[in-house]
Structure 1
C-alpha cells in the first residue's frame, strides 16, 4: 500500500509539473525522499513518460534529475518553453520585485475612486478631460472580449468615454448601458496591485431597463497613485448579451420571444446608428463611406452581427462600441467603423491562440512580488 501511494504521488506531482509548464510557471522542483520507498529508476521512468506526453501535447519541457548515492532525495526541475504564437525563449517574463508603496486601505480607496469616476455622470468629466488623471501616461489595459489599449488617451476614451454617451442626441443607439451604481464584492490588495470585483448596474436607456454586470479588474498603480496597468473581465457577458439581444428582437417583432425578423431588425437599427455617426464625424480625410446608404448597404451585407467575444473583431457589435468614440478623435476611430474595421474591429489578429497569449503583448508581466 505504501509503495502504491508513493507511486501515485509521483505521478500526480509530475502531471502537475507538466500542467504548470502550460501556464508558464518556470520552475517546479519535486523532492521525494526515501520515506516514500520509491526507487530512483521508477521515478526516472515516470519523468520520461511525462516528458513524452508533454511533447505529444505540444508542450516542450526539459528536465534535469539528481539523486544522492543513497537515493534519499530525488529532484526534478522542469523548465518549460512557450509554444504559443510567436514563441521565443522561456514561457513567462521574470516576476518584478516592487516596493510596497501602499497599504491595503489605500489601495481600496484608489479602487473606490476609480469606480466613483466610472459611474455616470462622473465619467463625463473624465471622458471630456481626454487624459484622465486617474491613469498613468503610459497606462496599458486589456478588456476581455475586446482588445488591448495603450496610453492614457486611448484608455480614457474606452474606460470612460465608451459609457459616457457624449454623442447622445445625435441618433445613436447603444447596446451598452450607463453605469449608475456599484457594490464591491471582492478585493485583495497589497503593495501596489489589487484583484477586484464589483457588481455594476447599467441603465440601458434605449431599452429602458437595468442590467447588472460583474466587473473584475486586476490593477497596478504607479508611485503617483495612477493606474499603470489593468486587466478587466466582464463575467457572464455572453449570457447578458444574449438576454438583451433577445429582448430587443422580441420587442421589434411584436412577439414575446426573439424571432429571426426581430434580430434582423435589431441589426438594421444598430447599422443605422453606426452609419449615422460615421456620416456626422467621419468626413474629409476620415471619410469611410460615400453616403449613409452606401454604409448601411455594406454593413448589412458584409459584416456579421457578432457574438459578445467578437467585441474586437469584424462585427456590428464591435462597430457599435466604437461609434461612441468618433466624437473624440475621428482620425483615430473612424477606421474602426469603416469597411476595414481599422486596427480594432478586424479578424486577422484575433484567432483563439493569439487572444489567449495576448497578455504577452499587453503586459511585459503581470507578476509582482
Structure 2
C-alpha cells in the first residue's frame, strides 16, 4: 500500500510540475507578440513606456552588431527607442529604418526556448524605399510570460548597409546643414552647377525616383549639380544626329565657317 501511495504522490507531483511550466505554444505566442510590437507604430508606443513588461526586469540580452543590453529599461530603450524619431519624422535620414512588416521563415520552440528566423521589411522614409532585413532571434521566456533572455543576430547586415547607407548621403541632419551652408546660392540662370539653386530644383523629384534623384541633392551632386566649365559646355557635342540640314552634313564646322567668311568677304567687295 505504501509503495503505491508513493507512486501516486510522485505522479501527482510530476503532473503539477508539468502544469506549472510554460508550454512551447505559450512561449511562441510571446515571441509573436514581441515581433508584432516591433513594428511601426507599435514600436514607438513600447519605447514610450520606458520599462516595457515585454521584458523581465532582470532581462539579459545581446545584439550581435552592437553589444549587451541588460535590464528592462536598457532593452526597451535600445530595441524600441531607436524608432521614436522615425515615428515623429519618417523622412529622417537614418541607417536603421523602421520595421513595417515581417515574415517568419523558420521557427523552433521547445519548452520556454524559442528560435525564429525573421525577414523584416524596413522602411527608409528618406529614400522612400523598403529593404528586407533578416534577423535570427533566440528567446528564453520566463514563467511570467516575459522575455528573460534574448540574442539577436542580423544576417547579411554588412551587405544590407553597403546598399542602404551610401544612399543616405549624409550621416545626420547637422552634417547635411553644414555641407549645404557651405555652398553658394548660385544664380538662377546657372541651375546645373554645384550650388543650392540646383539642389533646390531637384528636390521635388525625390519622391518620384529617389534612386535617380537623391544623388543630385547630395554632396556629389550626381551628374546634375556639379562644377562646369564654360568652354567645355559650349563645345560639347550633345546631339548624336544634330540639326544640320542634309546638304551640309558632309561639311566640317571649320570649313563651313571658312566658306561663310569668304562669302562675307566677296559680298563686301
TM score, norm. by length of structure 1: 0.40
Alignment of 1:1-369 (within 5 A): 101-165=21-85, 168-169=88-89, 172-248=92-168, 266=169, 269-273=170-174
Q: Is the contact between residue 164 and residue 178 of structure 1 (CA under 8 Å) also seen in structure 2? A: no
Kindly state the Cα deviation for residue 271 of structure 1 after the two structures are TM-superposed.
4.4
1:57 alignment counterpart: none
Q: Is the contact between residue 138 and residue 228 of structure 1 (CA under 8 Å) also seen in structure 2? A: yes
Kindly state the Cα deviation for residue 274 of structure 1 after the two structures are TM-superposed.
7.8
Separation in 2, partners of 1:120, 1:245: 21
Aligned Cα root-mean-square deviation (Å): 2.7
Alpha carbons of structure 1 residues 147 and 275: separation in structure 2 relative to 1, 3 Å: farther
Alpha carbons of structure 1 residues 274 and 187: separation in structure 2 relative to 1, 3 Å: farther
Kindly state the Cα deviation for residue 145 of structure 1 after the two structures are TM-superposed.
1.2
Q: Is the contact between residue 104 and residue 190 of structure 1 (CA under 8 Å) also seen in structure 2? A: yes
SS in 2 for 1:187: strand
Kindly state the Cα deviation for residue 161 of structure 1 after the two structures are TM-superposed.
1.1
Kindly state the Cα deviation for residue 104 of structure 1 after the two structures are TM-superposed.
2.0
Alpha carbons of structure 1 residues 165 and 229: separation in structure 2 relative to 1, 3 Å: same
Q: Is the contact between residue 24 and residue 113 of structure 2 (CA under 8 Å) also seen in structure 1? A: no
Alpha carbons of structure 1 residues 273 and 233: separation in structure 2 relative to 1, 3 Å: farther
Alpha carbons of structure 1 residues 274 and 215: separation in structure 2 relative to 1, 3 Å: farther
Q: Is the contact between residue 121 and residue 164 of structure 1 (CA under 8 Å) also seen in structure 2? A: no
Separation in 2, partners of 1:238, 1:271: 20
Alpha carbons of structure 1 residues 170 and 106: separation in structure 2 relative to 1, 3 Å: closer
Q: Is the contact between residue 44 and residue 84 of structure 2 (CA under 8 Å) also seen in structure 1? A: yes
- How many residue pairs match? The answer is 162
Cα displacement string for residues 292-314 of structure 1 (whole angstroms, at most 9, x for unaligned residues)? 99xxxxxxxxxxxxxxxxxxxxx
SS in 2 for 1:150: coil
Q: Is the contact between residue 141 and residue 229 of structure 1 (CA under 8 Å) also seen in structure 2? A: yes
Kindly state the Cα deviation for residue 176 of structure 1 after the two structures are TM-superposed.
1.4
TM score, norm. by length of structure 2: 0.55
Separation in 2, partners of 1:117, 1:218: 16
Separation in 2, partners of 1:170, 1:201: 15
Kindly state the Cα deviation for residue 168 of structure 1 after the two structures are TM-superposed.
3.5
1:43 alignment counterpart: none
Separation in 2, partners of 1:225, 1:141: 16
Kindly state the Cα deviation for residue 164 of structure 1 after the two structures are TM-superposed.
3.4
Kindly state the Cα deviation for residue 165 of structure 1 after the two structures are TM-superposed.
2.6
Kindly state the Cα deviation for residue 146 of structure 1 after the two structures are TM-superposed.
0.4
